[in-house]
Amino acid sequence: MTDVQRVEIERAEDSPVASRRVEIEYCTQCRWLPRAAWLAQELLTTFEAELTELALKPGTGGVFVVRVGDEVVWDRREQGFPEPTAVKKAVRDRVAPGKTLGHSER
């Protein structure tokens, strides 16, 4: 582990727990569970040391919203369906600002 990674983990551990929780609310009527689960897997793989929880929340009415804590970081109605890289950057900016996303940022 590099010094940068160690600092990032320490910073994440000092963050309020609510800000390290991600929620993906998805529409059950639209059958968007596979999309939500895939995005959840991407986020958990990328932020395995930084996140304390990731929840999938069933919803209706075409909802697909990603929240970090109480903050909406992606809303399909406003921004369309997210590319994983865009959501990873939004989550990273809130839970691990110094973390590099590697090839995803190129």
pLDDT tens track, the chain, 106 positions: 555 444 444 554 554 444 799 999 999 999 999 999 999 999 999 999 999 999 999 999 999 999 999 999 999 999 999 899 999 999 999 999 989 988 766 5
For the entire predicted model, the pTM comes to 0.80
Strand pairing category for 21-27 and 64-68 = antiparallel
Neighbours of 61 (CB within 10 A): 9
Q: How is residue 87 written in tokens?
A: 């959501």
